[in-house]
Structure 1
């Protein structure tokens, strides 16, 4: 497939990734420019180096190093799904710069990336499962008692409770909790949020 056609497909794919999947679901405006910039930048660098004596391998190495540096040296916290979108934007750019092979191969791989993100980051996938950090107003050293206390507070089944810090002086416990809401709790929460006019993520 001609390189300009692959570039056009890449632009369409990253627009679908960012404006069709990421932003409607997560509403983080600052990462829109980051994803678009990573995609187009990697596409430009990799396609330029693929025609030079440096070779595609160097281009891919530089692209991966650049994105990993951005993620490692970030000034704001990124969730795991946001890191996944970073790598998808990177992969789309690299695929468009590779060229060659069957005419359908690269567009099919791009479509597969979009499909995986559509399903894997869908709001209805494991929607009853939650994760959050909680600061409890008591120092609890017993794991069984901690889980029971958390289940009572959350009204949910706790699957994991990892204690981050126990402060015996101030009588507090910082814990990372992973839990699932009972059936129907998610729908009830959405109805209550709509009734009170709250903003739902």
Structure 2
């Protein structure tokens, strides 16, 4: 159990501090990932040591499944980090040291690569409220590209208000490359 705890702490620190925080800079979720991971590890370790009914184990994971992640807005990307934090806690709580080490390495490597800024790093998603209603989808696209100074990949009108003359659009676009020295 001690080896599992050490590997779990090392893996969640690598995930939360080494990958997530350095790329996304949200302290609130950093804490949530670490707390969730250590909590999962503790529960799994306890279930393996303490003789309990299977129903108790399913009940605990049922409680975890109803925890709502709506306290603040989080992205699908951040939900993926939640999932990996849970899986790391499970792996390190259940698996033997070699298996856990291998799976930790695979999970962290996948997250490193999948969330790397060089991989699709210029693709953006934004919900935009425009001060105009466009009846022509092509004019809408031209307006969005002009305002964003970017190539629009996909846009969906989610709301039109003819009284206030506004349009809410969900836009996916490719940001222009940044110039050297500009952040």
Normalized against structure 1, the TM-score is what?
A: 0.82
Distance 1:80 1:13, change over 3 A: same
Distance 1:56 1:8, change over 3 A: farther
Task: Provide the C-alpha distance between the structure 1 equivalents of 2:53 and 2:172, rounded to a whole number of angstroms.
Answer: 46
SS of aligned partner of 1:177: strand
Instruction: Pick the aligned partner of 2:84 from 88, 98, 102.
Output: 88
Instruction: Pick the aligned partner of 2:73 from 67, 71, 77.
Output: 77
Residue of structure 1 in register with 2:112 after alignment: 118
* Deviates further, 126-135 or 59-68: 59-68
Taking the TM superposition and a 5 Å limit, the aligned residue runs for 1:1-201 are: 3-54=1-52, 58-59=56-57, 62-63=60-61, 65-66=63-64, 68-71=66-69, 74-100=70-96, 103-181=97-175, 185-188=176-179, 191-193=181-183
Unmatched segments (≥5 aa) in structure 2: none
Task: Provide the C-alpha distance between the structure 2 equivalents of 1:192 and 1:20, rounded to a whole number of angstroms.
Answer: 24
Task: Provide the C-alpha distance between the structure 1 equivalents of 2:91 and 2:53, rounded to a whole number of angstroms.
Answer: 15
CA offsets 1:40-60 (integer angstroms, 9 cap, x no match): 111111111123333678536
SS of aligned partner of 1:119: helix
Task: Provide the C-alpha distance between the structure 2 equivalents of 1:28 and 1:4, rounded to a whole number of angstroms.
Answer: 30
CA offsets 1:12-44 (integer angstroms, 9 cap, x no match): 111111111111111111112211111111111
Normalized against structure 2, the TM-score is what?
A: 0.89
Aligned residues: 183
- What is the CA RMSD across the aligned residues, in angstroms? 2.1
Unmatched segments (≥5 aa) in structure 1: 194-201
* Deviates further, 155-164 or 46-55: 46-55
